[in-house]
A and B are shown apart, each in its own frame.
Chain A
Amino acid sequence: AQRVTQPEKLLSVFKGAPVELKCNYSYSGSPELFWYVQYSRQRLQLLLRHISRESIKGFTADLNKGETSFHLKKPFAQEEDSAMYYCALSGWYSGAGSYQLTFGKGTKLSVIP
């Protein structure tokens, strides 16, 4: 079974401070990992995926297979970064013959001015 754990429900940081949102996963195969973000009153949207190795809005995330982690980082938090962040894993279900996206429970990031 695949599982995604985000240990922090709420993370508060001051503007300009570094941010790290933690994500750990459990999956027997080679995972496809994502970070999704939900700003207030907006729909859930993709922030980044590990395979593209992009930096979006200053955020980066590195897949560490040894620690089974995919932490999201930003060196300097901005007020507009305040949102709900979800880590997600896309894994193959052989029984279903399909991929399934499993989400962590999310971390609410609050950036204090």
Chain B
Amino acid sequence: KAGVTQTPRYLIKTRGQQVTLSCSPISGHRSVSWYQQTPGQGLQFLFEYFSETQRNKGNFPGRFSGRQFSNSRSEMNVSTLELGDSALYLCASSPKAEYEQYFGPGTRLTVT
């Protein structure tokens, strides 16, 4: 099976702009989770989608949002970018959220 893919792999944006990141899960996986990884905070949970519904959300401001499509592909959007949003954003898929998660390579977002 093909692994989790994320596009784009690298992004440079300016403060105040918005960005959309994309994630394609492993075929058959219905749960997609998003994480933010930074050197200071480590891996922090953003949100989880299952069958197009957001089931759980981490402690992030409303500028961070996401959605999942009927084919389980997911997008994450960050509006009004801040310098502190610079991070590696990881997507993970799973048959169900409680099972082991399979991670994508991440999208490296740099906000200048």
A-to-B contact residues, CB < 8 Å? 32, 34, 36, 43-46, 49, 86, 90, 92-93, 96-106
- Main SS class of interface, A: strand
In which size bucket is the chain B interface? 20 to 34
Q: How far is the CA of A16 from the CA of B80 in the complex (A)?
A: 50
Seed contacts A96-B57, A105-B42; 9 additional CB < 8 Å A-B pairs: A43-B105, A44-B90, A92-B98, A98-B50, A99-B56, A100-B56, A103-B43, A103-B45, A106-B42
Q: Which residues of B contact A103 (CB under 8 A)?
A: 35, 42-45
Contact B43 A86 (CB under 8 A): yes
B-to-A contact residues, CB < 8 Å? 3, 33, 35, 41-45, 48, 50, 55-58, 90, 92, 96-98, 100-106
Q: How far is the CA of A32 from the CA of B94 in the complex (A)?
A: 15
The residue that B45 contacts in the complex, of A43, A86, A97, A101, with Cβ under 8 A, is A101
Q: Which residues of B contact A46 (CB under 8 A)?
A: 100-102
Q: Which residues of B contact A92 (CB under 8 A)?
A: 98
Closest A residue by C-beta to B90: A44
Known: A34-B100, A49-B100. Is A96-B45 also a contact (CB below 8 A)?
Answer: no
